[in-house]
Amino acid sequence: MPHAHDTRIVPHGAAQMFDLVADIRRYPEFLPWCKALRVRSEETDEQGRGLVTADMVARFKGFEERFTTRVTLDKPSLAIDVAYIDGPFKRLINAWRFQPLESGSRVDFDIDFEFRSRVLQLLAKTMMEKALLKLSEAFVQRADALYAAPLTCSAASSRPEPPST
């Protein structure tokens, strides 16, 4: 079963990154392969965590699949957990963790899944690393667009003019 982990250090706050990932309704605007998303229900549990049940339609390499997940949004812990309900998977679990840093945050993303279809499973195994990097990069680019892109290294390292004598 494919499992992958990605860690990114980003120049945006942990709470900002949490909010970006928690805003699942906007996924079709910026995530590759996410063609549609519908929130079925939203509630808050007894611990104050948000619970969202949503359907997503994903399209990749000629395949289109709909699946349903239950998303737990725990803002005080800066944690998002996704549990599989229904669709083409035998198993799907993913987790986001956001850690504040001095200048930005660390974002950890884990995904563990197995498709019912052997064809989809084979495709997933061959494309897993590339797909995860593309997905992670889409979140970083969205954060840059929403929270103002940081200076690039070349722009940040411009040399001052030498003093005149």
3-state SS class at 111:
strand
Identity of the amino acid at 87: G
> Which pLDDT band, with edges at 50, 70 and 90, does 163 fall under?
very low
Please write the tens of the pLDDT for every residue from 117-150: 777 666 666 666 677 788 889 999 999 999 986 5
Please write the tens of the pLDDT for every residue from 70-110: 999 999 999 999 999 998 788 888 999 999 999 999 999 99
CATH fold for the domain made of 3-148: Alpha-D-Glucose-1,6-Bisphosphate; Chain A, domain 4 (3.30.530)
3-state SS class at 130:
helix
* pTM of the model as a whole: 0.81
Decide if pLDDT at 45 tops 90. Answer: no
Please write the tens of the pLDDT for every residue from 10-41: 999 999 999 999 999 999 999 988 999 999 99
